[in-house]
């Protein structure tokens, strides 16, 4: 049974099978509170920043990104979980399509602002306070050579779902993620960021086609009773993935990116994912459906910003990639917050609305841009035209680009928007921080919801 309840602001599903209320304290050398920049980034402006890459030697020292935030409401208490991607230095990377991909981890919070993380792996504690504080890396690249996720992982979604095939229908955590292996794939020269990789390979191997490992990502599934300790679920594909990329010439032949699932009813689940369509030469969003969450049938492309009016110089002129589709209960519609890619590769966060989750209406302007593009606000009058700036490094932690959005519905029609950001732009690289922006109460509105977000102000340093 799933319902909703409001308490102290957070508005989230209440589902059977959720863990007990956590108690918070510090654990020596294991768990730490993160709300500031790492030492390497301490000179950057930090408005919006929740936390940055982990300390040296940690599982997420080289980058963090793709936050998936859920607020569970219990008796007189909110419990916040964040699942996110992170990577060690020197680990295989695929920042071209999944910045900061590597391993998956979990952090916890009482308010969604101050987060408890770990530099190590989840230890598997089962009882008492130790279990409730057991956070850190939870899924790492697979050691079975034949699987789809031996090189890197990136989290797409975590939901508490019930299923008669799992735990007698009691709600458990389902983690949908994308994973890549070491298969070599040719890089489309039209893909944003590909030129630098192609040039690098051309200088090292003149005359050879430009190829890259880890580009062919496929969707995977893991399950958990507590959101911390996970078991992979082997899918139908021979690599263990839930399903394969498309055939040659199909829109999703290159990769399956950022799988995110929405439960529509007892026998219908939808998975939204994106890929680089070689024919269109841009990112588009597609959908698959399932009756049980294990067997999926592709339904094709459901959102292409260009087909919804995006011009070549628009913030999403090169398409939509990582996204979260959520219900807007107040207006009885679906919202898609997506990573918008401009013609010059600049990334911002776009918005679309739909009554059925299939046909979408595009917001004509981004709801959040990089700090250098929007000058701190995102009203239409402050929107930078895509391609009009050439800077490659800025004075803000997220001055280069923002993306990987995760919205959380709050009370009174307001929203929180968690996202990933980095200070650089121009070439592929990891996201270096996870941020939070708040919907503007008196800002522009699109289809009845706020269409402008402002970064949460950084706490003063004392």
**Residue written as token pair 């292996």:** 181
Q: Specify the pLDDT at position 56.
A: 95
Q: For residues 190 and 420, which has the higher predicted lDDT (pLDDT)?
A: 420
pLDDT surpassing 50 at residue 5 = no
The proportion of the chain whose per-residue pLDDT surpasses 90, expressed as a percent, equals: 69
Q: Specify the pLDDT at position 170.
A: 56
DSSP 203: H
Question: What is the rounded distance in angstroms from the CA atom of residue 415 to the CA atom of residue 450?
Answer: 8
Q: Give the count of domains, the chain.
A: 1
- Secondary structure of 254-274 as H, E, C letters: CCCEEEEEEEEECCEEEEEEE
CATH of the domain at 444: 2.115.10.20
Least confident of 5-9, 36-40, 170-174: 5-9
Show Cβ contacts of residue 266 under 8 Å, excluding neighbours closer than 6 positions.
none
Average pLDDT over residues 1-12: 39
The proportion of the chain whose per-residue pLDDT surpasses 70, expressed as a percent, equals: 80
Least confident of 62-71, 130-139, 145-154: 130-139
Over residues 155-185, the pLDDT tens digits come to: 999 999 876 555 444 579 999 999 999 999 9
Residue 55 falls inside a structural domain: no
Average pLDDT over residues 265-273: 93
- Which of the residue ranges 21-25, 327-331, 421-425 has the most confident prediction, judged by mean pLDDT? 327-331
Residue 2 falls inside a structural domain: no
Domain that holds residue 332: 304-457
In 3D space, the residue among 174, 253, 254, 251 whose CA is nearest the CA of residue 215 turns out to be 254
Residue 229 falls inside a structural domain: no
Residue 316 falls inside a structural domain: yes
Mean residue pLDDT of the chain comes to 85
Residue 347 falls inside a structural domain: yes
Q: Specify the pLDDT at position 373.
A: 76
Residue 422 falls inside a structural domain: yes
pLDDT surpassing 60 at residue 380 = no
Q: Specify the pLDDT at position 378.
A: 54
Q: For residues 57 and 458, which has the higher predicted lDDT (pLDDT)?
A: 57
Q: Specify the pLDDT at position 384.
A: 46
Show Cβ contacts of residue 214 under 8 Å, excluding neighbours closer than 6 positions.
92, 93, 94, 151, 152, 180, 181, 182
Average pLDDT over residues 370-387: 57
Residue 286 falls inside a structural domain: no
If you write DSSP's letter for every residue of 166-180 in order, what string do you get?
A: BGGG--EEEEEEEEE
Q: For residues 321 and 76, which has the higher predicted lDDT (pLDDT)?
A: 321
Whole-angstrom Cα Rg for the chain: 20
Q: Specify the pLDDT at position 167.
A: 46
- Secondary structure of 282-332 as H, E, C letters: EEEEEEEEECCCCCCEEEEEEECHHHHCCCCCCCCCCEEEEEEEEEECCCC
Question: What is the rounded distance in angstroms from the CA atom of residue 162 to the CA atom of residue 267?
Answer: 11
128 burial (CB, 10 Å; 0-12 / 13-18 / 19+) is: exposed
The SS3 assignment for 56 reads coil
Q: Specify the pLDDT at position 134.
A: 87
Compute CA 63 distance to the chain's CA centroid, rounded to the nearest angstrom.
13
Residue 3 falls inside a structural domain: no
Q: Specify the pLDDT at position 201.
A: 73
Q: For residues 196 and 272, which has the higher predicted lDDT (pLDDT)?
A: 272
Average pLDDT over residues 220-236: 96
């Amino acid at each position: 049974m799933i319902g909703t309840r409001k308490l102290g602001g957070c508005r989230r599903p209440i589902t059977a099978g959720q863990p007990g209320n956590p108690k918070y304290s510090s654990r020596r050398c294991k768990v730490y509170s993160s709300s500031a920049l790492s030492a390497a980034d301490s000179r950057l402006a930090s408005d919006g920043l929740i936390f940055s890459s982990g300390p040296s030697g940690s599982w997420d020292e080289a980058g963090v990104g793709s936050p998936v935030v859920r607020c569970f409401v219990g008796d007189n208490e909110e419990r916040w979980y964040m699942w996110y991607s992170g990577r060690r230095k020197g680990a295989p990377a695929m920042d071209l399509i999944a910045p900061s991909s590597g391993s998956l981890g979990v952090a916890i919070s009482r308010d969604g602002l101050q987060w408890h993380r770990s530099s190590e792996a989840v230890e598997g504690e089962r009882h008492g306070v130790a279990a409730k504080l057991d956070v850190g890396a939870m899924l790492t690249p697979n050691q079975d050579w034949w699987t789809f996720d031996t090189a890197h992982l990136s989290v797409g979604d975590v939901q508490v779902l019930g299923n008669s095939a799992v735990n007698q229908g009691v709600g458990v955590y389902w983690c949908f993620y994308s994973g890549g292996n070491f298969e070599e794939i040719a890089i489309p020269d039209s893909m944003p960021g590909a030129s630098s990789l192609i040039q690098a390979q051309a200088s090292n191997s003149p005359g050879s086609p430009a190829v890259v490992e880890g580009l062919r990502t496929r969707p995977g599934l893991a399950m958990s009773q507590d959101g911390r300790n996970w078991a992979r679920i082997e899918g139908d594909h021979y690599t263990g993935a839930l399903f394969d990329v498309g055939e040659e010439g199909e829109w999703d032949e290159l990769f399956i990116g950022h799988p995110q699932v929405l439960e529509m009813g007892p026998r219908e689940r939808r998975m939204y994912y994106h890929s680089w369509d070689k024919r269109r030469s841009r990112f588009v969003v597609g959908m698959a459906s399932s009756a049980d969450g294990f067997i999926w049938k592709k339904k094709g492309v459901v959102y292409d910003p260009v087909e919804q009016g995006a011009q070549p110089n628009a913030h999403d002129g090169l398409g939509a990639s990582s996204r979260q589709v959520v219900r807007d209960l107040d207006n009885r519609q679906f919202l898609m917050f997506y990573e918008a890619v401009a013609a010059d590769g600049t990334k911002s966060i776009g918005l679309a609305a739909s009554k059925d989750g299939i046909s979408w209406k595009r917001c004509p302007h981004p709801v959040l841009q990089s700090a250098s593009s929007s000058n701190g606000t995102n009203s239409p009058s402050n929107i930078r035209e895509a391609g009009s700036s050439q800077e490659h490094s800025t004075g803000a932690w997220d001055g280069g680009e923002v993306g990987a959005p995760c919205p959380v519905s709050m009370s009174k029609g307001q929203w929180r928007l968690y996202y990933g950001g980095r200070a650089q732009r121009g070439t592929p690289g990891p996201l270096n921080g996870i941020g939070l922006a708040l919907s503007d109460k008196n800002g522009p509105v699109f289809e009845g919801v706020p269409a402008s977000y402002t970064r949460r102000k950084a706490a003063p340093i004392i």
